[in-house]
Each structure stands twice: as C-alpha cells, then as structure tokens.
Amino acid sequence: MRIESISEVSASPGFIARDILKIVQFWGKAVGNSANRKRLLSSILAYILLTPSAVSSFFIRGWRFALVREVLLTDGRASLPRLNDIWKIGEAVKQGVKLIGAKFMYDVPKFLILFVFAYDLIDAIIDWFYFLFFQWWMEPAAEVQTASGMVDATVTNFSLSFSSAILLYIVYSCFLTPAFKISEIKYAAGQMKYKGFFDPKELKSSFRLYRKYSAQTLEMYVYDNILMVVSIVIGLFFSLIFPPFILLIYPTVKLMLNHMPKYYGYALLAQRMQENGDIVVREQLADQEAISPLAA
Amino acid sequence: MTGNYIVTGSEKESEEGDVNLYLDDNDRFEKITQPAAVHDYPEASIKEPSLWQYFADRIRRVSEPLWHKKSRGDVLGMLAVSWFVSVLTWLANFDAILGRGWRLEVVKKLSLGDDKVVPDFSLSSILGYFANGIILLFARTFYFIPMILFALLSGYKFVKIAWKLAVFIYDKAVVGTDASWSEFFFYKVLPQATAELLVQFLFVTLYTMLVWPVYRILMIQYAVGEIKWTGFFSINQFKRSAGIFRRNASSVYAVYAFMLSLQIALYFILKPIDWVSFGFADRTFLPIVYVIFWYWPIGYAYGVLGRTLIQRGEIRPTGRITPDLNEEYNEEYV
C-alpha cells in the first residue's frame, strides 16, 4: 500500500497520469451516463442557440463556472450543471459577463505591453512578409534583397521584441493567469465575493494558494492550453468538411473537447483545495439573486 | 497532524476507486472514507427534464394563444392590418411601428395577467398600437444615439481609409507609381482597420450587454404603466431601471439573450429572402411572418419577464392585475 499526501504531493508522472485518467473518465461519464448526457445535450443546445448573438461567449464562461461549482457542491460527483430552463441559462450568462469583466481587468496590462511589442515588431514582420511573398516567391527575378540581408536587418528588432513578448507572456501565464483561475475557483465555491477579484488582499491569498498548489495549477493550465488548441483544430476541420453546419459543429466540438474537460481539470484542483480545507464551499453565492417561484 | 491522504494500491482500488485515509497526530490510522470521485453519477434521475423538452413545452405554450378560439379573430385581424399597412406604406415601413405597439400590448397583457393575452383588434386599439409604436421608435432611436454617434465617428475613420485606397489606386492606375499593394495594405489599412474593429467590437459588446437590457426593462415599465413616455428620457428613471437590471440580471439575461439570438437568426434568414425578391417579400408575406415569429414571441417573453419582476416587487404596475399573482396562473403561462 502506498500513501500520498494530497497537500504535499508533487506533480509526479503518476499523479499527472491519474489526473488525465480522471478527466477522461469524467468525459466518459458525461457522454455515457444518461442523466449527465441529458445535461450535456441541454448545454450544447443552449450554446448553439446563443451563438447567433455571440452571447454564447458569456454563457460558456458562466457554464464552466457552474461546472466547477457543481462538482464542489456535489462532493466531487462527475455531474454537469443543470440547465433545464432559460433562467438557469440567464444565471450562467450573468456570471459569464462578470467573469469576462474581471478577466479583462487582469488582462489590460498584458494587452497594452503586448501591443507595444507588436507595434515594434510590425515593421520587421511586414518586411519579411513582403520579402517572402512578393520578392522571393512571386517575383524572384525582381529580388532586390537577399535573405541574409533581411536577417541582418531585422534580427535585432525581432529577437529583442519577440523574446520580450515571450518573456512577458510566460510571466503572465505562470503567475497572473493561474492566480486568476484560483480566484475563479474561490468565487465558484462562494468563499469570495465578486469584488474580491479586484481586492489586493484576495489576490494575495490567491497567490498564496497558487504557491501551495503551483504544480497542480500549472498542470491544469497546460491541459487548458492543449485542449484549446486541439478543439480549435478539430472544430475547424469538421467545419471545413461540413461548412453549412458550422454553427452546429463548432460550438459542439468546443464544448465537448475544450470547455468541459478543461474545467473539470480545474474542478479537480478545487476539490483538492476543498479536501485540504483551503477553500470552504458555500451553498449560496453571496450575490446570487433569489429565484422566485415564477422563475424556478 | 491529521492529514488527508490518497491511498493507492489497496485491494479495493480497482473496484471502488480512491479512499481517503485519515491519520491522527501520531500518524496512526484514524478512519478511512470513500470520497465521491469520478465514478459517481449525478443525483439527477433520468426523469429530469431536458432543455429540449423545456423548449418544446414553451413553444407549445407560446403558440397556443395564437390559435385559441377566443383570440383567433384578433390574430387574423392583426395579420390583415399588418399586411395592408405594409403594402399601403410601401417605403415608409409603417407596419414596423404597428408591430412594436402591438408587441407592447402583449407585454402589458402578460405582465398584468390578463385572461386574454392576444391584444384586441378594433380601430381604436389599432390607433393606440400606432401611438405606442411611435413612442417606442423614438425611445429606441434615442437609446441608439450613442451607437449611431460611435458608428459615425468610426465610419469617418473607415472613410479616411477608403479615401487613401482611392488615392492609391488612382496613383497606380493614372499616375503610374510603382508603389506596392502589400506595403500599402499592411502599413495604411491593416493596423488602423484592425484597431477600429476591435474598439467597435468592445463598444458594441458593452452596449449590448449593459445598456440595452436596461432599455428593455424601461419598455416593460412603460407597458405596465409604471412610467410615462417621458420616463424613457429621464436620467433618474434610467438609474432606477439599471438598479432593477443589476438586482435581477440573470432573469433579464435569460430572456434578453434568447430574444437577441432569435432576432439575429431571423434577420439572417429573412433578409436574404427580402434582398433576393428586391424588397417584394418584405411588403407581401414577410409582415405576417414578423407578427407570428418576431413580435409575438418577443412580446410574450418580455411579458413573462415583466410578470417575474412584478412578482419580485421590482416593478409596480398601475393597471389592474388579474388574476391574482398565484401559482395557478404562473403554471398556465410561465
């Protein structure tokens, strides 16, 4: 018999493999279990119906939030959010609007700095594009610049801007974005109010939790990015094969292969925090509106 | 130290998954529990209704009053008048004004719990729908002013880009300059146009998600008689309605999001038909389609929202409420 402490366990290959297995099992339960399948189909229907107005992008963030909350409230059961009337969908949209607002505030510095780097890079990119596409490929005879000359002319600008941008992105990805995810978990648990996203004290406590669960948080963040790329590629592939059904296919693929598994990953992280007593789950969100019998 | 541990490699692992092993301060075994893991199923039974069933049921409920015996005449009357007005005012599009006013009456009737949800068909009531339609058109235009101003400012920048493009083409074709297309596009068009589109997207999103829903609440308040038409243009009233929106955001978004999607989807389905027919469809059979698939469901949905807000005490109607706000009524319509 081997014993591992949840709170102290490192991101060993075995642990990562177990997490991947749990996510795959969860996916299987979502598709295989009839009650879950019904909720999954309801979620897909809502996502598709809201796509024409682009409200779907708010809805899906709220849905992911609800998924984490559902897993926490049901003590780790592999259950999807219950969406069997429009009022629950409205709640998801509302939470999505709030989360996008908070995320936007976190991302403003990143956007500004990346914009400065991108502006600096744009000259070099245009020069290369012009050289490769027009001089080198379309009109080789009219070539006035050699490839080595191009490299010499742009290498400093490129390497400096590009490496700075990458560095910034890594710093953001490794610090602020995962800390935001932890704040999101705390908010989903009902432990933190919405204004906590903008409260330095809460941010500090999220960083503290992040330091404790850094390996697991980054592990989930890596899944997050991998699943996002995979779902985009698969979604585009099927959409290109069946273009008339793009509004049906793309949301379905995105929900099943991206949003659902990746946020179950964050739910697993949330569960670990809950089991270690680092977050306390509350039944009622602090700012949740009372649903009247009419809307229930 | 009491810790929470995952035990792997135990005998039961393969059949029952992980267990939690609790140790006491001396690291001695205290208790073992079975955590609910991915192996567990949700509590929901198969009987839990799905969203498909919910929508099927709501579509039935929403469409039922339209062919109910006691309101059939009113529906046919409205369809006939709508068609007649659209033909009569071929270019002025007066049927849209009538439709808006009629929809407002649906909102009022459903919010106040009128027995008959379909608005009456009589000459005086038709004139009333026109009057309300004009007020709504003004209010709507007023609320669109920031969008219009923004579109004009943004449009001016696009005109400047287009002007640069025209000069570029002229120089290339007439003057004979050997300027490069790619350089022009990447230096003069792409950065400005991209920045402009991003700002537009941000503005439209903020407006759609934060301002327009407040206008919808004002519309409901006007329908049930809580505010007069001047309320649309009052800052204090706007603040009060924004407060209602903030406190009831999920219910407002529930109705608003689906109605917005319905409107956009219908727009993309019906407008091409209109364009292909050179506007003929819009003056012949589309007014009837609009009444059934546009004004009616939207009016019904906002009526349900109005009913919900009245029940929560957020909106205080001045009109008579019949029947009382009871569950029987709620079951029947909502």
**Within a 10 A sphere around the Cβ of A282, how many other Cβ atoms?**
14
Q: Which of B53, B54, B308 sits opposite A295 (nearest CB)?
A: B308
The answer to whether the Cβ–Cβ distance between B307 and A74 falls below 8 Å is no
Instruction: Quickly state the pLDDT bin for A293 (edges 50, 70, 90).
Output: very low
Q: Residue B236 has which token pair?
A: 């204090």
The answer to whether the Cβ–Cβ distance between A55 and B43 falls below 8 Å is no
Displacement of CA B50 from its chain's centroid (Å): 22
Instruction: Quickly state the pLDDT bin for B13 (edges 50, 70, 90).
Output: very low
Cα–Cα distance for residue pair B5/B18, rounded to 1 Å: 10
Cα–Cα distance for residue pair A168/A182, rounded to 1 Å: 20
Return the exposure string of B311-321: e unless at least 16 CB atoms fall within 10 Å of the residue's CB, then b: bbebbebeeee
Has the ipTM of the complex gone over 0.90? no
Output the pLDDT for position B3.
45
Q: Inform me whether the pLDDT recorded for B314 exceeds 80.
A: yes
Output the pLDDT for position A34.
76
- Spatial neighbors of B170 by CB under 8 A, at least 6 apart, are none
**Residue A168 identity:** L
Provide the whole-model pTM: 0.79
The answer to whether the Cβ–Cβ distance between A97 and B3 falls below 8 Å is no
Output the pLDDT for position B321.
53
SS (H, E, C) A103-153: HHHHHHHHHHHHHHHHHHHHHHHHHHHHHHHHHHHHCHHHCCCCHHHHHHH
The answer to whether the Cβ–Cβ distance between B4 and A58 falls below 8 Å is no
**What proportion of chain B, given as a percentage, has pLDDT over 90?**
25
Chain B hits for A81, CB-CB cut-off 8 Å, are none
Between the alpha carbon of residue B20 and those of residues A165, A181, B43, the distances in Å are 44, 26, 22
The answer to whether the Cβ–Cβ distance between B36 and A6 falls below 8 Å is no
Most confident of A155-164, B110-119, B210-219: B210-219
Most confident of A165-174, B39-48, B125-134, B176-185: B125-134
Q: How many CA atoms lie within 13 A of B325 on its CB side?
A: 17
* pLDDT tens-digit readout, B155-173: 777 788 888 888 888 877 7
Cα–Cα distance for residue pair A55/B210, rounded to 1 Å: 12
Give the residue carrying structure tokens 């939470």.
A95
Output the pLDDT for position B14.
38
Output the pLDDT for position A5.
47
Chain A hits for B48, CB-CB cut-off 8 Å, are 35, 38-39, 82, 84
Interface test with B, best of A7, A51, A94, A99 (most B CBs within 10 A): A94
Closest CA to A65 of A180, A163, A164: A180
**What proportion of chain A, given as a percentage, has pLDDT over 70?**
83
Q: Inform me whether the pLDDT recorded for B37 exceeds 70.
A: no
Mean pLDDT across A122-148: 65
* pLDDT tens-digit readout, B137-155: 999 999 988 888 887 887 7
Most confident of A4-18, B144-158, B183-197: B144-158
